[in-house]
Amino acid sequence: MAAGSVALAAGLDRLVAEPPAALHPVAWLGRALGPFDREWRHPRLAGAAVALAVPLFVAAAAAAVVTLGARLDPRIGAVIAGLGCFAATSRRMLLDEARAVVAASDTDLSAARTRLRALAGRDATDLDAGEVRSAAVESAAENLSDGLVAPLAGFALFAPISLPAAAGAAAWVKAVNTLDSTFGYRSIPMGWAPARLDDIVMWVPARVSAALLAVVAGRPAALREARSFARRPASPNAGWPMATLAVVLGVRLTKHGAYDLRPSASHPTPAEAERGVAVVSRAGWLAFGLTGVVALC
């Protein structure tokens, strides 16, 4: 049943890309977090409470819904778990956006800069075409870890226990990542705990993502070269998939004032950037496949 849930999530990702915004649980969570974005007397304590309570609540709700469905019929429980896994992961939509940015960078730089806002949180006003493509490739690599491998890892880890536990684990990971993307900024006093929790949770998925990229590119040894660049971004995790992709593509990936990966190379050409997105796509399918195999065990 768990393997079928993963297959359903993968199929929906391929066919639908994302649930409609009005029906997307992650969008619901984002709106529900709004009241927490305010001044707190003890912001770090408030942030810690939110970081602990919200993901647990989301996980419990996901597990409860799957349990109720399974009591009606195990197949209903499996379908609900698959829908939950689909909602907790993201692959095609982000890759489609990355491809669109890369294509526009060669024909309409202004449009490419505008579309980049959906992928990367940076000011693209003064970026040249190569830098825009760099940002698109970086975002595709980082989102492989945050948006796909991490929630799938949670699902796979708990699938041998039970289907509700697997669905709850995937939802918990997604909630942690959503909290970080909402509050995990230095400008938000309560964001310290959500950001640190996200760093801990994403530690293994980031390195697994780097390994997947190296394997599907046929360059497993690239991880050794990527190690020296992976530490350059401030994040303890984001640098691993980005640096690995930079190595397997043989390109330079940069963010002004933050990091410069493989500075001796050139920024990706359109063809190199497209190849990078394709490598991320294959790594995503491998992640789905491995999760399904684990779920069968």
pLDDT bin (cut points 50, 70, 90) of residue 185 is confident
Q: What's the confidence (pLDDT) of residue 177?
A: 95
Q: Rounded mean pLDDT of 119-125?
A: 82
Tell me the angle at which helices 163-183 and 150-158 cross, rounded to the nearest 10 degrees.
150
CA 24, 30, 33, 37: dihedral to nearest 10 degrees? -170
State how far Cα 123 lies from the chain centre. Answer: 21
**Which of 39-48, 155-164, 242-251 is the least confident region?**
39-48
The pLDDT of residue 107 is: 92
Instruction: With cut-offs at 50, 70 and 90, classify the pLDDT of residue 257.
Output: confident
Tens of pLDDT along 123-133? 888 899 999 99
Amino acid type, 43: P
**Is 206's pLDDT higher than 90?**
yes
Q: For the chain, give the mean pLDDT.
A: 94
Strand, helix or coil for residue 261: strand
CA-atom Rg of the chain in angstroms: 19
Q: Which pLDDT score, from 0 to 100, does residue 85 have? A: 97
For β-strands 253-255 and 259-261, DSSP reports them as antiparallel
Q: Which structural domain, as residue segments, surrounds residue 88?
A: 2-296
- The model's pLDDT over 62-73, given as tens digits with 9 standing for 90+, comes to 999 999 999 999
- Do 35 and 185 contact (CB within 8 A), yes or no? no
Distance, in Å, from the CA atom of 268 to the CA atom of 283, rounded to the nearest integer, reads 19
As for how many domains the chain has, the answer is: 1
Say how far apart CA 158 and CA 117 lie, in whole Å.
35
Q: 213: closest CA among 238, 242, 174? A: 242
pLDDT at 223 over 80: yes
Whether pLDDT at 184 is above 90 = no
Distance of CA 9 to the CA centre of its chain: 15
pLDDT of residue 120: 81
pLDDT greater than 80 at residue 49: yes
* pLDDT for 147: 94
Of 90, 71, 72, 98, the C-alpha closest to 25 is 90
Q: Among 201, 208, 177, 222, which Cα is nearest to 287's?
A: 208
Of 37-46, 89-98, 172-181, the one with minimum mean pLDDT is: 37-46
Give SS3 for 161. Answer: coil
pLDDT interval class at 119 (50, 70, 90): confident
Least confident of 20-24, 168-172, 271-275: 20-24
